[in-house]
Amino acid sequence: MLRKTGVPTDDLLRQVTPSEERLRRGPVAIFECFERIPCDPCQHACPTGAVQPFEDLNDLPRVDHQLCTGCGRCIQACPGLAVFVVQEDLDECSALVGLPYEYCPLPAPGDVVTLLDRQGRAVGQGRIKKVVRPGNRGETPVVWVIVPRGLAMTVRHIRPEGENRGADQPTGGHHLPV
Amino acid sequence: MTSVLEPEVAVVGAGPAGMAAALAAAEGGADVLLIDREHRLGGQLVKQTHKFFGSSDQEAGIRGIHIAERLGERIRQHAAIRIWLGTTVIAYYPDGVLLAEKAGHGLVKAKPRCLVVATGAAERHLAFAGNDLPGVYGAGAVQTLMNVHGVLPGQRALMVGAGNIGLIVSYQLLQAGVQVVEVIEAAEEIGGYAVHAAKIRRAGVPIRTRHSVLKVEGDSCVEQAVVARLDEGWKPIPGTERVLQVDLVCLAVGLTPLTEILWQAGCRMVWVPELGGHVPVRSETLETTVPGVWVAGDAAGVEEASTAMIEGELAGLAAAHRLRPLKEFDERCRQLRQALAELRAGPLAAKVRRGLARLEGGTC
């Protein structure tokens, strides 16, 4: 289905989702990279060795979630914009998602944004916590967005309020408690 | 008519393959003439705002436009490389003379001892009613308008083709603020990398496989497009037509190698659909059947820029070695061929591997 729709199936996502225990323990990277393509920058970007060395350039990244600190360097490095960091329990009612974002203008901390799932459907509202701008190597900016608790594995993109660049989509869904 | 320049190596095309070839030849001790019809180095790299895949040992993770800047800087600093920009090669004569039209200089000539053809590829067009209306573009033209000239090609786009180019240009359109209404693909599956598809899907763009454009309508420019589902035999299914309100139809339906110079040189050419069309028969170091004429990059078969750069290096190195034997030539060739094999090892390069196998096996 991935090759027909461009959207990973639940089965594929399960394969790259850390254990419940690991998810509860703090921020961790989710590698939504399902195809063997010749590519290895994530492995070189990882400062903790959580992304295991590649035997072949076409290997899928193998991630030791126990070593991952959720720093997000892999988000900046991944050419496929396929890595996300989730922290499921930021507080009682919200989670945190770090995602790659290559659109101008970059949002600013405090901005309220529409949260989108893997199909671009609006699933609620979030608030920007932090934005990591690109360095001098053209790294991908990383946007850290506070989302309603329970949506950390759902939210994969954001849209500034009042914009609609993709196809016409219904809005609605959860709202962030203020 | 000016006198004939006699460089040791001429490289036609200053895209990823040509730039790498010029550098490798110059670093191998040759004096090099690098020719491109554009007014800047880089070829299609200058339009590639996305980060490249590949090995971190090469240029992976770097955006194409930055690769062009890096290579361009090294080329400009190399005393042995002369650059003719704004120069279109129009003929290659049996006596080894390249005839070119150089902006502001008229006709110019060069007679190199070795020639590397790195002319790249041209976009294919698609036959449908209204395909001549303003607003129907090739994906390369859309990239040129947006990424080189800063001009928006439209407001609402239909992308035809879900190979890597169609997916990447859709993403660039979104980044430029254009609404991409839909990406359609005639094949049963998305042709490009799933990660490129995922980027535009999460931005809300639908991708419909087994779909094609039937016609485009409008008074003096594109106002709407009619698309339909295709059956197993690639025929439109009656009753599945939909009208899309768009002012931009972008075609990303494949590339075909630009091989005119190779034909003129008398290289043996073979038809390999997996590589995009007619390509030259060549040796392991990319020398064609005409001694002293090499090929590299998309002109040798349509692939990725990452492979084009390695092919360019291989061809440039081989040309320099022909002029003055280089130490460790065999070892460097082996390393470059190994790097190519690695880049071509994944499942999405299966078509390229098939084409190259047919070419090497002589079964074309």
pLDDT tens, residue by residue, A3-23: 999 999 999 999 999 999 999
Domain boundaries, chain B: 4-122+255-361, 125-251
B264 touches chain A (CB under 8 A): no
Interface test with A, best of B56, B70, B244 (most A CBs within 10 A): B56
Tell me the per-residue pLDDT of B228-283, one tens digit each, with 9 for 90 and over: 999 999 999 999 999 999 999 999 999 999 999 999 999 999 999 999 999 999 99
| DSSP, residue by residue, B4-57 | EE--SEEEE--SHHHHHHHHHHHHTT--EEEE-SSSSTTGGGGG--SBP-B-TT
> Do B50 and A140 make contact, defined as CB atoms within 8 angstroms?
no
The whole-number pLDDT of residue A161 equals 84
> Do A35 and B348 make contact, defined as CB atoms within 8 angstroms?
yes
B residues 69-128 closer than 8 Å to A (CB): none
B224 touches chain A (CB under 8 A): no
Per-residue pLDDT band for A52 (boundaries 50, 70, 90) equals very high
Tell me the per-residue pLDDT of A99-142, one tens digit each, with 9 for 90 and over: 999 999 999 999 999 999 999 999 999 999 999 998 888 899 99
The three-state (H, E, C) secondary structure of A115-135, written as one string: EECCCCCEEEEEEEEEEECCC
Helices B305-323/B329-343 angle, 10° precision: 170
> Do B66 and A2 make contact, defined as CB atoms within 8 angstroms?
no
CATH number of the B4-122+255-361 domain: 3.50.50.60
What is B125-251's CATH number, 3.50.50.60, 3.90.470.10, 3.30.465.10, 3.40.50.2300?
3.50.50.60
Smallest CA–CA distance, residue B50 to chain A, in Å, is: 7
B150 touches chain A (CB under 8 A): no
Q: Could you count the other beta carbons within 10 Å of the beta carbon of residue A9?
A: 12
Smallest CA–CA distance, residue B248 to chain A, in Å, is: 14
Task: Give the residues of chain B that fall short of pLDDT 70.
Answer: 1-2, 363-364
Q: Which of B51, B180, B343 sits opposite A79 (nearest CB)?
A: B51
Percent of chain A topping pLDDT 90: 85
The whole-number pLDDT of residue B60 equals 84
> Do A140 and B51 make contact, defined as CB atoms within 8 angstroms?
yes
The whole-number pLDDT of residue A134 equals 87
Q: A39 near B60, Cβ under 8 Å? A: yes
Strands B255-257 and B121-123: antiparallel
Q: Measuring CA to CA, which residue among A34, A156, A133 is closest to residue A86?
A: A156
Q: A80 near A128, Cβ under 8 Å? A: no
H-only helix segments in B101-230: 139-143, 164-175, 194-202
Sign of CA dihedral A111, B200, A57, B312: negative
The whole-number pLDDT of residue A165 equals 47
B339's enclosing H/E stretch is helix B329-343
What does each C-alpha distance from A177 to A87, A112, A117, A162, B234 come to in angstroms? 17, 12, 19, 19, 50
> Do B54 and A39 make contact, defined as CB atoms within 8 angstroms?
yes
**Residue A43 neighbours by CB under 8 Å, 6+ apart:** A51, A52, A53, A54, A61, B56
State yes or no: pLDDT of A80 exceeds 80: yes
CB–CB contacts below 8 A, A to B = 151
The three-state (H, E, C) secondary structure of chain B, written as one string: CCCEECCCEEEECCCHHHHHHHHHHHHCCCCEEEECCCCCCCHHHHHCCCECCECCCCCCCCEHHHHHHHHHHHHHHCCCEEEECCEEEEEECCCCCEEEEECCCEEEEECCCEEEECCCEEECCCCCECCCCCCEEEHHHHHHHHHHCCCCCCCEEEEECCCHHHHHHHHHHHHCCCEEEEEEECCCCCCCCHHHHHHHHHCCCCEEECEEEEEEECCCCCCEEEEEEECCCCCECCCCCEEEECCEEEECCCEEECCHHHHHHCCCEEEEHHHCEEEECECCCCEECCCCEEECHHHHCCCCHHHHHHHHHHHHHHHHHHHCCCCCHHHHHHHHHHHHHHHCCCHHHHHHHHHHHHHHHCCC
B175 touches chain A (CB under 8 A): yes
Contacts of B207 in chain A (CB under 8 A): 5-6
Nearest CA in chain A to B173: A165
Beta bridge partners of B212: B228
Smallest CA–CA distance, residue B349 to chain A, in Å, is: 8
What ipTM is given for this predicted complex? 0.92
Q: Which of B53, B201, B306 sits opposite A7 (nearest CB)?
A: B201
Q: A59 near A113, Cβ under 8 Å? A: no
Contacts of B182 in chain A (CB under 8 A): 167
Contacts of A30 in chain B (CB under 8 A): none
Tell me the per-residue pLDDT of A151-176, one tens digit each, with 9 for 90 and over: 999 999 999 986 654 444 444 444 44
Percent of chain A topping pLDDT 70: 90
Query: Which amino acid is present at B114?
Result: C
Nearest CA in chain B to A121: B204
Q: B126 near B160, Cβ under 8 Å? A: yes
The whole-number pLDDT of residue A136 equals 81
Contacts of A6 in chain B (CB under 8 A): 190, 194, 197-198, 200-201, 207
Q: Which of A43, A82, A120 sits opposite B201 (nearest CB)?
A: A120
